[in-house]
């Protein structure tokens, strides 16, 4: 599933390619056709992301809310656009580019008030300037749930997915099963800015890199990571491989239907 940096990249790209100009909106597949007809030819006034949600704004009160879910994609290219094929939920066409949305969990036309209500249910997003880390800390520090659960809970903190979760816990030497209320404030105060920096880097380069230069295997003449997620990471999907810091075997276990990855030596059970 795309993590928050992907949605912020899309928002940024859509602002650049389509905003402040009329766009043509269609739903070749038909499932968004009624709403698309209302928006077709209107000016896209803005695009923003909050966590894994993308919002396209038209005029004062029309917002298209998109959630890609596990399988959704939103791909752009230069015009001319080819004939639509397959399940194309929404196509945006601007002056120079088009973008095709396929397979999203959500693509719906809502009002500004509905968008605000939706955002109010989401936790602070490290990539947004309005994010308040104290709100995240309040939830974490009162909870008996493991950090592994809390960091993926989009009402606690939004935009963190499986990769950022695994890597943040590793970088701070935290056992994924540590209950939120056992985390100390000093550690949290280091984690938040680290998460912000990692995710901003993800927006900038379009992949998740979390490994410090001194731990990068390429520095030792070993090959870099080959994975469709790209980027160099410490533990995510490295089960059975040696930890880049201590050499212990990276472990994995299912946790709430997603795989967790950690180093038992660097992230000891306290």
Positions annotated as catalytic residues are 2-3, 52, 258
CB of 166 to Zn ion, least distance (A): 13
| Interface of this chain with Zn ion, residues 97 to 136, rule: CB under 5 A | none
Q: Establish if 265 lies at the interface with Zn ion (CB under 5 A).
A: yes
CB of 243 to Zn ion, least distance (A): 3
**Residue 259 CA: distances (Å) to CA of 166, 234, 269:** 9, 15, 18
Stretch that binds Zn ion, among 3-11, 89-97, 106-114, 240-248 (CB under 5 A): 240-248
Q: Where are the beta strands (DSSP E) in the chain?
A: 24-26, 44-50, 53-58, 62-67, 73-78, 88-93, 97-102, 106-110, 251-255, 258-262
Nearer to Zn ion, 23 or 263 (CB): 263
CB of 157 to Zn ion, least distance (A): 25
Nearer to Zn ion, 95 or 249 (CB): 249
Q: Which of 110, 156, 183, 266 binds Zn ion (CB under 5 A)?
A: 266
| Interface of this chain with Zn ion, residues 243 to 262, rule: CB under 5 A | 243, 245-246, 248
Cis check: omega of the bond before 211, within 30 degrees of 0: no
Supply the angle between the helices 133-141 and 185-205 in degrees, to the nearest 10: 130
Binding mask 59-98 for Zn ion (x = CB under 5 A): ----------------------------------------
Please tell me the count of residues contacting Zn ion according to CB under 5 A: 7
Q: Establish if 166 lies at the interface with Zn ion (CB under 5 A).
A: no
Q: Establish if 235 lies at the interface with Zn ion (CB under 5 A).
A: no
Could you report how far apart the first and last alpha carbons of the chain are, in Å?
A: 31
CB of 244 to Zn ion, least distance (A): 8
Closest CA to 4 of 141, 203, 168: 203
Nearer to Zn ion, 98 or 262 (CB): 262
Cα dihedral 72, 78, 83, 89, rounded to 10, equals 30
Nearer to Zn ion, 130 or 214 (CB): 214
DSSP 62-83: EEEEEE-TTT-EEEEEESSPPP
Residues recorded for the chain: 270
Nearer to Zn ion, 12 or 215 (CB): 215
CB of 161 to Zn ion, least distance (A): 22
CA distance 55 to 146: 31
CA distance 124 to 153: 11
- Which stretches of the chain bind Zn ion, using CB under 5 A? 243, 245-246, 248, 263, 265-266
């Amino acid at each position: 599933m795309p993590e928050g940096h992907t949605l912020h990249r899309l928002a940024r790209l859509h602002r650049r390619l389509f905003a402040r100009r009329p766009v043509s909106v269609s739903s070749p597949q038909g499932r968004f056709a009624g709403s698309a007809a209302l928006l077709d030819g209107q000016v896209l006034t803005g695009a923003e992301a909050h966590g894994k949600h993308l919002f396209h704004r038209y005029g004062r009160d029309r917002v298209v809310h998109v959630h890609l879910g596990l399988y959704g994609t939103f791909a752009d290219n230069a015009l001319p656009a080819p004939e639509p094929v397959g399940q194309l939920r929404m196509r945006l066409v601007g002056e120079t580019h088009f973008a095709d949305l396929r397979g999203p969990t959500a693509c719906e036309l809502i009002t500004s008030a509905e968008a605000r209500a939706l955002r109010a249910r989401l936790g602070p997003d490290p990539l947004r300037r309005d994010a308040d880390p104290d709100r995240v800390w309040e939830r974490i520090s009162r909870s008996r749930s493991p950090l592994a659960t809390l960091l993926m809970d989009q009402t606690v903190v939004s935009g963190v997915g499986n990769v950022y979760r695994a890597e943040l816990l590793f970088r701070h030497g935290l056992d994924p099963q540590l209950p939120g209320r056992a985390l100390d404030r000093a550690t949290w105060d280091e984690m938040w800015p680290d998460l912000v920096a990692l995710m901003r880097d993800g927006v900038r380069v379009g992949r998740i890199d979390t490994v410090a230069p001194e731990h990068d295997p390429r520095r030792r003449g070993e090959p870099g990571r080959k994975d469709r997620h790209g980027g160099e990471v410490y533990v995510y999907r490295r089960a059975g491989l040696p930890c880049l810091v201590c050499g212990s075997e990276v472990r994995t276990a299912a946790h709430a239907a997603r795989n967790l990855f950690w180093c038992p030596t660097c992230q000891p059970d306290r």
